[in-house]
Amino acid sequence: MFVSVLIFIIVLSVLILVHEWGHFMAARRAGLWVEEFGIGIPPRVWGKKIGETIYSINLLPFGGFVRIHGENSEDKVTKPERSFSNQSKRTRATIIIAGVVMNILLGVAAFAIVYTFSGIPRETETVKIVAVDANTPAQAAGVLVGDIVKEFNSEGITSTGEFIDELQNIQGDKTLLVVEREVDGEVVEKSFSLVPRGEYPKDEGPLGVVITNVEIYFPPIWQRPFIGIYYGFKEALFWGKTIVLAFAGIIANLFRGEIPRDIAGPVGIFAITSEAAKVGVLALINFVGILSINLAILNILPFPALDGGRLAFIAVESVVGKRVLPKAEAVAHTVGFLILILMIIAITAADVRRLIVNGGISGFIDSFLK
């Protein structure tokens, strides 16, 4: 449990610190005065001033923060020309967006590392059987994991789509499956007569096999980081689209009066992080990538207290031609922050209940994925 908690703290801290580092670097680049960059949540335990910025370590070991001069309306501005509040709309927007960009880049980097070390998936014209379910036509006929499908129903098979189409056409009728199998180092051809089921369990198909036409290959070592980055971007786009659609579904459900079930708060993320760490380092890094993309999208939502909420006020400023009153914006962000805290408490309570009802972390994961 101690190791799981430590990993959870490290994961969350990396996600938040990378985000805050984006704000920090963008502010420094724009010439603003960054008063403090802190690791953890105050009160401060240790701090050292380097240049004009205090770098601090704080008591609560979660994430971190960056304090830019004049960022909040209640701050006393002593250097107006270098304060956040006195910058142009473009500069302020750039600093705000920088945190989101850093989380996206962290996600891409995490996925790139996974692809670099675990290999690159690619489609082939070979359909391979990767699982055979018990008590199914395939098992009864003698089909084995690793068999390569060559013919089915007298048709040559070069893709999973062809195989599935043929299955739909002949359910309930006897047919012939021809496969290639490696036996004692030699590739031999075997034929099986079987009858695909018309009715079958939810998680099985007519034959009871799992097939794929994707293989994992390893490019030359010097190429892997570059190919990994390319696939890292593709993976980030995939998860970005998936998360956006999930958020849209959650909002639609809320308008219909339905309580979302597939949301995890801090307790849920801790449970999933623990399970990912058990699988291995690459699984944990991959989950960090997913979380980082999730955090980027969550932060860009136009809700007060989030980066997207701050961007929304800049957008309003562009439309009306003048800034929203600082006190009004501060109140909106405070209210938004309180709403977010209440939502986190509610989701956490639901996570704890799910953990108890499902008998622990493994049961929680299973219920979450259903």
pLDDT tens for 77-105 read 889 899 998 999 999 999 999 999 999 99
Share of the chain above pLDDT 70, in %: 94
Between 165 and 360, name the one with better pLDDT: 165
- The mean pLDDT of 145-168, rounded to a whole number, is 88
Strands 175-183 and 186-194: antiparallel
pLDDT, mean of residues 128-147: 91
The residue among 92, 17, 108 whose CA lies nearest residue 290 is 108
Return mean pLDDT, the chain. 88
Question: What pLDDT does residue 256 have?
Answer: 72
**Token reading at 66:** 């960056």
Percent of the chain predicted with pLDDT > 90: 48
Going by pLDDT thresholds of 50, 70 and 90, the confidence category of residue 351 is confident
Angle between helices 281-300 and 2-29 (to 10 degrees): 50
Smallest Cα–Cα separation from 164: which of 192, 203, 196, 130?
196
**Any idea where the domains of the chain sit in the sequence?**
2-118+230-369, 121-217
Using the structure block, give the residue that is written with the tokens 């860009």.
300
Return the CATH superfamily for domain 121-217.
PDZ domain (2.30.42.10)
pTM above 0.75, yes or no: yes
Question: Given pLDDT bands bounded at 50, 70 and 90, which one contains residue 327?
Answer: confident
Residue recorded with tokens 């068999």: 147
**Whole-number pLDDT of residue 293:** 96
Q: How far apart are CA 243 and CA 171, in angstroms?
A: 37
